[in-house]
């Protein structure tokens, strides 16, 4: 059986590799650790309502994979009026490939890729986020940048809506810290966006200097997330937007269960 070579160690690529291994397929992930990768900044939260009608089938398809591989947790967030909202959660740290090959992939073809001066042949899955356009220019992926912050200590989860479809969220994503994001995603990201996000954090009680800033560029593609067959043994997936965990898991099932069996 061929090896699955994955380009990109973010949520899309890591989920595909993990699901392939669970089905007995050897998988090797390449990730050069380029600045601006979106997945480390992701919250890891999701819900059926966030997926919406258009992506509901992907949400349903993703849940069994996420439950089997990682166990889906529940996060309770309280609104300013005391209402509680429960979201589903898988920590990105549990998903992201722990030891990818730290070499940049320089070329991809049908059933092969080149990295570090070597050629690898097998199945190829290009899941390189905003960098997918290097391998498939007509995918027309573009990026919107944003930042999340971690503050010392563990705080009770909160959510505050401040605009249509926008909310600020704080909860314990990783032990001993509190994660904060307001969902900002801009094509042109400036220090003013950081200041605005930190002001929203302070309004929810997260004062002082954050212990960590995670900045990344989310991939967007016209019409929504993309899964594309590029050749007999090569596929591409990108455009996860704000639902990368769900789309990455759904596309992983499509790749491993539908495509690799053909």
Per-residue pLDDT band for 134 (boundaries 50, 70, 90) equals very high
Mean pLDDT on 128-151? 95
User: Whole-angstrom Cα distance, residue 214 to residue 167?
Assistant: 18
The parent domain of residue 21 ranges over 4-259
Share of the chain above pLDDT 70, in %: 100
84 phi and psi angles, rounded to 5 deg: -110, 145
Per DSSP, the three-state class of 157 is coil
Structurally, the chain folds into a number of domains equal to 1
Stretch 251-255: mean pLDDT, rounded?
A: 98
User: What pLDDT is attached to residue 143?
Assistant: 94
Mean pLDDT of all residues in 6-18: 98
Tell whether the model's pLDDT for residue 165 goes beyond 90: no
pLDDT at 84: 96
| Other beta carbons less than 10 A from residue 11's beta carbon | 30
Q: Quick one: average pLDDT of 76-93?
A: 96
Q: What is the pTM of this model?
A: 0.96
CA distance 44 to 246: 9
Cα distance between residue 74 and residue 26, in whole Å: 31
Distance CA 225, CA 223 (A): 7
Give the SS3 label for residue 118: strand
Q: With 90 as the cut, is the pLDDT of residue 51 above it? A: no
Q: Tell me the C-alpha distance between 103 and 259, whole Å.
A: 26
CATH code, 235: 3.50.50.60
């Amino acid at each position: 059986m061929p090896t699955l070579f994955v380009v990109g160690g973010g949520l899309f690529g890591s989920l595909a590799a993990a699901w392939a291994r669970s089905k007995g397929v050897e998988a090797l992930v390449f990730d050069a650790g380029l600045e601006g990768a979106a997945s480390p900044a992701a919250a890891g939260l999701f819900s059926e309502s966030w997926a919406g009608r258009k992506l509901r089938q992907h949400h349903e398809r993703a849940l069994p994979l996420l439950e089997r591989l990682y166990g889906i947790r529940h996060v309770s967030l309280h609104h300013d009026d005391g209402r509680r909202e429960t979201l589903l959660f898988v920590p990105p740290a549990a998903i992201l490939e722990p030891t990818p090959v730290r070499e940049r992939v320089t070329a991809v073809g049908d059933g092969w890729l080149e990295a570090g001066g070597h050629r690898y042949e097998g199945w190829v899955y290009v899941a390189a986020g905003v960098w997918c356009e290097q391998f498939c220019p007509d995918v027309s992926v573009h990026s919107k940048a944003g930042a999340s912050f971690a503050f010392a200590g563990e705080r009770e989860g909160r959510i505050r809506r401040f605009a249509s479809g926008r909310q600020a969220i704080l909860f314990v994503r990783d032990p001993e810290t509190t994660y904060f994001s307001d969902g900002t995603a801009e094509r042109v990201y400036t220090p003013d966006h950081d200041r605005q996000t930190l002001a929203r954090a302070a309004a929810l009680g997260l004062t002082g200097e954050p212990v960590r800033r995670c900045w990344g560029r989310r991939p967007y593609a016209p019409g929504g997330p993309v899964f594309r067959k590029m050749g007999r043994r090569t596929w591409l997936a990108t455009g996860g937007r704000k639902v990368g965990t769900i789309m990455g898991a759904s596309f992983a099932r499509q790749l491993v269960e539908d495509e690799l069996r053909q």
